[in-house]
């Protein structure tokens, strides 16, 4: 009986721990992405244009790409920024620079 209760406890606690961890990781990814957005907006305010790459504003693109699958590009003066959802890599969060909001796309 005790082993059964232990097994049931583990089976209930493990998914809960996973969900809590995913929420924490998702918030951390969003915080890093928001820091990139703030730096991009600051650069635009000072220079009148968005930077050609994240290195210009003090970020290492390969680190953000490896950690969060975060990507930035500038095409014809238009910035594109997105990162993958941490609990589902088929969903990406795109930043809309016009409305200054995040949009989820799958």
Single pTM value for the model: 0.80
**Structural domain that includes position 79:** 2-105
Pure H helices in the chain: 2-47, 61-68
- Could you list the pLDDT tens digit for every one of the 106 residues in the chain? 678 777 676 667 766 666 555 677 789 999 999 999 999 999 999 999 999 999 999 999 999 999 999 999 999 999 999 999 877 768 899 999 999 999 988 7
Nearest alpha-carbon partner for 68 in 34, 103, 30: 30
């Amino acid at each position: 009986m005790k082993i059964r209760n232990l097994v049931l406890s583990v089976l209930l606690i493990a998914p809960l721990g996973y969900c809590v961890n995913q929420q924490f990781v998702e918030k951390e990814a969003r915080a890093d992405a928001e820091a990139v957005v703030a730096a991009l907006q600051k650069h635009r305010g000072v220079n009148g244009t968005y930077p050609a790459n994240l290195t210009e504003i003090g970020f290492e693109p390969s680190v953000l790409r490896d950690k969060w699958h975060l990507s930035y590009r500038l095409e014809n003066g238009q910035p594109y920024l997105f990162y993958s959802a941490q609990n589902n890599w088929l969903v990406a969060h795109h930043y809309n620079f016009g409305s200054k909001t995040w949009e989820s796309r799958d």
